[in-house]
Structures are given as C-alpha cells and as structure tokens.
Chain A
Amino acid sequence: MFLDELKIFYRHGRQYVPDVTAVGLTPLFRGRPVICRGITPEEVSRVVELCPVKAILLSPFRIDLGKCVFCKECHFALPEKIIFSNDYKIASNIRENLIITEGDDHLIQLDPEKVRKEIRSIFKHALKLRQVSAGGDNSVEMELNAAGNVNFDMGRYGIEFVASPRHADGIVITGPITQNMAAALQICYDAIPDPKVIILAGTDAISGGIFKDSTALNREFLQSHHIDLYVPGNPPHPLTFINGVLEMIGRKQ
C-alpha cells in the first residue's frame, strides 16, 4: 500500500512552476498580438468585418484585448500582419493599456502610480480573494482554480481564494454580469471589508465579450466602482492572472 503511494509520488515528481514570470508557453498560445504597420484599407475592412466582437479599432489600427475573444481569426485572415505572440503577461490596471496599436511591440504594463496606495501597503504579502461568477462559462472559473493548483501554486505568494467575503480583501468577477446575478454580486461586494480590490478576469467580465449586446446583462456595477485589475483572455491563462496580481500588489516590478 505505502509502497504504491511512494511509486505514484515518485512519478508525480516536482510539479510546481518554479518561476511564474518566465514560462515559455507553446508558440501557439494566443497571447499579446503584434500588429504590423501598413495594413491596406481592403485588409482593414476584411478583418473588421470578420472580428466577432468588434475588438478592432481604427485610425490607427488597434486591437482591444479587453474585447478580444482571442479567436485569432484576424491572424488567419492576415497571417503576415497580425501575429499572436505567446506572451501571457497581458493584465493591466489601466483599461487603455489593453489596447495594442499597430507597430507596437512592447509589453503590456501596469501603471504603478495608478495602483491605489493601500493595495501595495496592505496586501503585498497576503491577498485573499472572493470569486464571483456572474454568467461565467466555467472555463475562467476552472483557470482560476488552476491558479492555486499544484502546478501554478499561487498560494506560495500568499494569494488565495477564500470562501467568505468576510475573509476576503477583494473580489474577482468572471462572466459578463447577468441581470440575474447583479444583486448577488453587489451583496457579496458589500460584505467585503474595506479596503478591497476589484479584479475583472476574462474578456466577458471586462467588456461583455461575445455577450456584450445581450439584454440579459446588467453591468451597472462596473460603472460605479473602480476596477483595480483587468485580466484579459478567453479564458485568461492562470499565469496571466498570477502575474497580473503579483504586479498589482507590488511583488514584481
């Protein structure tokens, strides 16, 4: 019996990712796009028409990762001009920083000046989060769970998901925020003691994603609250989430 377990343990080996800031994901991973200059008007109209969520903005040509569902179809339409890198560090505290402009090839940044002071002074070594799924499709939820698993082990930084909002320092919202969850979301948020952070995880939460035009949504909560971190992706990779949070709390410069 015990021997069996030892054997399993041996094959299980070391699972955790030693450095979450420097993982080489598969080249096919759809991370931060790079857009070449010189997309012709014909090409522009082709991809604008194609993009399922109107994530492409014009003059100059830009892709808004807060809206993008990372389908990569714009790349397949213009394979030489729009390229998705496997850079997974795409979270920011500034909504506009999620917009990639043609010709840009720099990392997506958090603006440390704009991170609320108390976040770094209080939560730097321990941040407990309450997750609320408000129409999330369960892929984002599964990736957030994975952020705490044996591989990504977010707990090593003192970042954890907790059961009660009373024990939490902030809220992570997933999903486009349905009308039917709007009240519960507000109640949960109100139950968290101050100071508290708000993180939007996934394209659906940031912009409504493919559900943006649905009448079954109620996104008013977002209009009346300051968002501390936007984590794009469909769903966001656990590493995107962890790196974003680490940067927000000032654990990584």
Chain B
Amino acid sequence: MDRNYIVLTTNPGKVTLADVPVLDYAFFQSVVDDLLANPSNHCLAYYAIPFPDYYKFICCIGCDETHSIAVFCHHLPLKTGNELDSLTIRHFPLHVFEREIHEQYGIGFSGHPWLKPVRFPTGSSEMDRYPFYAIESEELHEVGVGPIHAGIIEPGYFRFICNGEKVLHLEIQLGYQHRGIERLFVEKKHLLQKAVLAENICGDTAVGHTLCHVGLIEVLGEITSADGLFLERNIALELERIAIHIGDTAALCTDIAYQFGQVVNEALRTIVINTMQCWCGNRFGKGLIRPGGSYYPLTSEISQTISINLKEVLERYLQITSRIFSMPSVLSRFEGTGKLSSKQAALLGAVGMVARSSGISRDIRWSHPLPGMDHVESSPVILHKGDVWSRAMMRKIEVEKAVSRINQMLGQLTGDYHQVPSYDIVLQPSSLAISLTEGWRGEICHTAITDEKGQIMHYKIKDPSFHNWMALALAVRDQEISDFPLCNKSFNLSYCGNDI
C-alpha cells in the first residue's frame, strides 16, 4: 500500500474502509493532481457520504495501464456553509462529480465554473428553476424542447441558444427520471431486491448494470465463481451491445430519412433480442444475471442458437452497413456533423463508445478486465474524427468485434458447471467495494460501503451518460439545429441512467 492511496488490482475490488487513507484536503488535491497528470488515469468515482459528524469524500482513480484503481479520501466536518476549493478548474472531468456532491449536500465548491443541478433529487417544485445560461442579444433566440419529446423517448429538457439556424449553445436539464434508486439499494435488504433494482436502473443496459452490481456483491461476499459463469455473463453483455448498436444504426437511418436502412436494421435487432429471450425469457436479459449463479445456464443448445443467429445477423448487418456507409446522401449527413474533438472528449472525461469515436482509448474491457476474461480478445476500437460518422462506424465495428468475442467465449465454455443464484451471501463488514463494467454506452461504475454488520449503508451508481451528456452539448455547437436529433441519436445517452 502506498501511503497516499490504496491500490486495488482487481475489478471488482474491495478494501476495508479503515484502510483507505484519509488525506487533508490540500494534500488530497495534490494527489489528484499527480494522478490525473497521467492521461491514462481517469476519475471513476468521487462522491461524499455523510457520517455522524463528518462527510467522507471518496475518490477512485482508475489507471488504464496498470489495470488498477487508486482509492483515497478526505473528510469534511458536518456543518452548514461548508465550502471546498473546486478541483474542476484544474481537472474538468470532475465538474459533474462536484456538482452532484453540491446538489446532494449543499457543499460549496469555490471557483467551480458551472455548479448547476445534475438531477434535482429533492423534488419537482424546483424543476422550473433551473439556472439556464442566457445571453442578452437582439440577434439570438432561444429554443426550448422537452421534457416530453416527439417520440417514445425518455424525458429531458433542452434549451438551445441559436444564431439563426445555428446552435451557439445547448444546455441540458435532466432529473425528470429521478427515482431515488441509490437510497432503495440501501433500504431494500434482500439481495434479490437489489438485483431487480440493478436491472431496472436503465432497462436498455439491464445486463451491463446488473453485471456491475453482482460483481460488487460477490466481491463483498468474497465469493469466487466458476469461469464459466463469468463467460456466460459476458456473452450476455456483448449480446446486449450488439442489439443496441444495431438498433442505433436503425435509428440513425430513421433520423436521416433512410427508411430502408431503418427497417432492415430493426429486423436484425429483433433477431438478437429474441435470441436473448430464447436464452432467458426476457428480450433485455432481465432475470439472467444474479449474484452467485444463474437460473439460465447456457446449454449447448442455446449456445448453438446464439452462434447460428449471430452468424446470420452479422452477414446481413455487414451487407446493409456497407450500403449505408457508401451512399453519398448518408455520408453527407454523417460526415463532419456533431463533432466532438479529441481534446474536448479528454477535457470532459468522456467515456465509452463516445470517447473511443473521438480518439480516446478508454474501454474497461481492456483496462480493467473482469474475472475470467483473461483469454478473451479485448483491444479497444478507436476512431478519430468524433463526428456522427465515427459514432455510427464505431457501432458497426463494435458489432463485428462483439460477435467474434462471443464466438471466442462460446468456444471456451466447457458447460460442466452450474451454479444457482444465492441470496444469502454474507457481505464483509466495514468495507468499500468498486465494480466496473463496459456496457454498450461505456463505463458503468457501482460502489458500495457496508456497515459493521455487513449491510450496505451506501450505494453509488454511475452510468456512462453521467459524463457524456456534456459532450453532446458541446458537439452540437455550431451545428444546424435541425441536425440535433441526429447528433442526439449518435450519442444515445441515458436519461434514467443519469437521473437514477
């Protein structure tokens, strides 16, 4: 153990809470400075927990190169009018973590340039009082859209400041979907309840979030599962990725009025989610991932169905995407639209597919592989232009890679194990655990702290959207406002994942 921080070398990982070094804030800041000076390190989680007489601020920084996680903390006395120097000025990716802490506990961050609400956890009476940025000008106009949008889509409010048809600035107000999930994770004691909560955090990423959650429970319970179980779960994770990416390809076609591309991809997505249903009875994989085991073993019959269906889907997907990416009328809408430069992406701490489309190598499957994944190919796909084209192309390449990963994993399954779920896992007391999963959007991070009886006393959820919403707001600057739906779709961020 380093004296500044404790290093976790596994994902998921666990420490005894008392072993996490408590630094004074000035020193804490310098440790953050040192760690984040290395571009292959990034902040996974930074949040506060109220204890009887102080707030504990926990910071987890992931190091991609050494596949490890540095954990350290600082304390702040529990009193009103608390204020800290903001770290955001030096490390912009922390902006959203500090905003979240500020919103939850009223702690000030002096010098924070954008201390705005994240999700309004305290209730609707404040929804009308979001402090939108405004510019006094006769030439500019504002366009407000939402919270309900023209489609079957989750709610969020978008306020554009436009110069003619061009977007000068976009600000996104979220929080409409806030369901108080983190508190429910503490209040609902049964591990099955927690698993069901996890799969409803964000239904389009049911596998990703539940996988992240059960990793946390298993590491806290010091359970080691068979490699086969890990393989099965990761097959489900990639299946989820394939389904969503193909669905997004369809939706991108919809937004540029290329109906043929839309319907062909829609039909392909159906095959993939029906394959999931054939495995576990639910098209989104709900019910499949459980702590300690699964009720839906991947039998050789289902393995075969998966590989046959994926072969068919991939062939047809490559046919249609080669058509999509060679049509001038498609390319003219995709290329150069909604650009997020690599510098912007780095500055914002963008994660997942969005970051990788802007030249940033960030992929938990590669940097912090899950147990049992050592022999599965995991090099990240990186594209550089950061426009709608890159994010669309990213999906195409990731679908191809995910199919080959699944085939590789299916080949490694020996099928000679079966573990059923267990809901009476005893969690280690007074511990902190962190779990990371690369869902289809990107990095999902769950952290939990147990009390001295081994009950979860604090739970923290981070969906990749938490970082990436700001990236969308920047990407649409200087774009035609009519291209907003296309840009938005190319990011496909989660409202409920942010609002939790």
Which A residues have a C-beta under 8 Å from some C-beta of B?
A: 4-5, 7-9, 11-12, 15, 25-26, 28-30, 49-50, 52-53, 69-73, 76, 84, 131-146, 149-151, 161, 163-164, 175-176, 178-184, 188, 204, 209-211, 213-218, 234-235, 237
**Contact across chains for B287 and A211 when beta carbons are under 8 A apart:** no
The contact string, 1 if C-beta is below 8 Å from chain A, for chain B 473-500, is 0000000000000000000001110010
Q: Which residues of A contact B287 (CB under 8 A)?
A: 30, 70-72
B246-285 interface (Cβ within 8 A of A): 247, 260, 263-264, 266-267, 270, 274, 277-284
Q: Which residues of B contact A15 (CB under 8 A)?
A: 263, 267, 270
Q: Which residues of A contact B71 (CB under 8 A)?
A: none
**Contact across chains for A214 and B184 when beta carbons are under 8 A apart:** yes
**Contact across chains for B496 and A135 when beta carbons are under 8 A apart:** yes
- A180-B124 in contact given A210-B193, A217-B179 (Cβ < 8 Å): yes
Q: Which residues of A contact B17 (CB under 8 A)?
A: none
Q: Which residue of B lies closest to A137 (CB)?
A: B203
Is residue B84 within 8 Å, beta carbon to beta carbon, of the partner chain?
no
- A211-B184 in contact given A29-B277, A70-B287, A180-B177 (Cβ < 8 Å): yes
B337-356 interface (Cβ within 8 A of A): none
**Contact across chains for A145 and B152 when beta carbons are under 8 A apart:** yes
Is residue B197 within 8 Å, beta carbon to beta carbon, of the partner chain?
yes
Tell me the bound Cα distance from A213 to B296 in angstroms.
29
User: Which 8 A-B pairs give the minimum distances between C-beta atoms?
Assistant: A139-B203, A163-B150, A137-B203, A216-B180, A28-B281, A214-B180, A52-B193, A138-B204
Q: Which residues of B contact A141 (CB under 8 A)?
A: 152-154
**Contact across chains for A138 and B178 when beta carbons are under 8 A apart:** no
Besides A133-B155, A234-B286, 14 other A-B contacts (C-beta < 8 A): A8-B260, A15-B270, A25-B277, A52-B190, A71-B192, A132-B155, A133-B153, A137-B204, A179-B178, A180-B127, A180-B178, A184-B176, A210-B197, A211-B184
Is residue B52 within 8 Å, beta carbon to beta carbon, of the partner chain?
no
**Contact across chains for B120 and A210 when beta carbons are under 8 A apart:** no
Tell me the bound Cα distance from A136 to B284 in angstroms.
14
* Nearest chain B CB to A129 CB, angstrom units: 9
A150: which of B148, B183, B263 is its contact (CB, 8 Å)?
A: B263
Q: Which residues of B contact A50 (CB under 8 A)?
A: 190, 192, 423
- A179-B124 in contact given A149-B266, A210-B197 (Cβ < 8 Å): yes
**Contact across chains for B206 and A139 when beta carbons are under 8 A apart:** yes
A12: which of B196, B267, B494 is its contact (CB, 8 Å)?
A: B267
A139: which of B121, B123, B193, B204 is its contact (CB, 8 Å)?
A: B204
B154-199 interface (Cβ within 8 A of A): 154-155, 175-181, 183-184, 187-188, 190, 192-193, 196-197
Q: Which residues of A contact B494 (CB under 8 A)?
A: 138
A-B contact count (CB 8 A): 200
* Nearest chain B CB to A151 CB, angstrom units: 5
Q: Which residues of A contact B206 (CB under 8 A)?
A: 139
Which B residues have a C-beta under 8 Å from some C-beta of A?
A: 120-121, 123-124, 127, 147-148, 150-155, 175-181, 183-184, 187-188, 190, 192-193, 196-197, 200-204, 206, 247, 260, 263-264, 266-267, 270, 274, 277-284, 286-287, 295-296, 316, 319-320, 322-323, 420, 423, 494-496, 499
Q: Which residue of B lies closest to A209 (CB)?
A: B200
**Contact across chains for B155 and A151 when beta carbons are under 8 A apart:** no
* Nearest chain B CB to A233 CB, angstrom units: 9
**Contact across chains for B295 and A218 when beta carbons are under 8 A apart:** no
Q: Which residue of A lies closest to B205 (CB)?
A: A138
- A164-B155 in contact given A72-B287, A213-B184 (Cβ < 8 Å): no
B196: which of A28, A30, A69 is its contact (CB, 8 Å)?
A: A69
Q: Which residues of B contact A180 (CB under 8 A)?
A: 120, 123-124, 127, 175-178, 499
**Contact across chains for A135 and B124 when beta carbons are under 8 A apart:** no
Tell me the bound Cα distance from A52 to B124 in angstroms.
28
B281: which of A72, A137, A214 is its contact (CB, 8 Å)?
A: A72
28 contacts between A and B (CB under 8 A): A4-B319, A4-B322, A5-B323, A8-B316, A8-B320, A26-B278, A69-B200, A72-B281, A76-B420, A132-B155, A135-B176, A135-B179, A136-B496, A138-B496, A142-B284, A146-B266, A149-B263, A149-B266, A151-B270, A161-B151, A163-B151, A175-B177, A180-B127, A181-B147, A184-B147, A211-B180, A213-B187, A217-B180
Tell me the bound Cα distance from A131 to B379 in angstroms.
40
* Nearest chain B CB to A16 CB, angstrom units: 10
Chain A CB within 10 A, most for which of B175, B200, B279, B295:
B200
**Contact across chains for B263 and A12 when beta carbons are under 8 A apart:** yes
**Contact across chains for A133 and B154 when beta carbons are under 8 A apart:** yes
**Contact across chains for A144 and B152 when beta carbons are under 8 A apart:** yes
* Nearest chain A CB to B291 CB, angstrom units: 12
Q: Which residue of B lies closest to A187 (CB)?
A: B148
Q: Which residues of B contact A216 (CB under 8 A)?
A: 121, 123, 178-180
**Contact across chains for B323 and A8 when beta carbons are under 8 A apart:** yes
Tell me the bound Cα distance from A179 to B322 in angstroms.
46
* Nearest chain B CB to A96 CB, angstrom units: 24
Q: Which residues of A contact B260 (CB under 8 A)?
A: 5, 8-9
**Contact across chains for B267 and A151 when beta carbons are under 8 A apart:** yes
A210: which of B196, B280, B323 is its contact (CB, 8 Å)?
A: B196
* Nearest chain B CB to A197 CB, angstrom units: 16
Q: Which residue of A lies closest to B187 (CB)?
A: A213
**Contact across chains for B319 and A182 when beta carbons are under 8 A apart:** no
**Contact across chains for B127 and A137 when beta carbons are under 8 A apart:** no
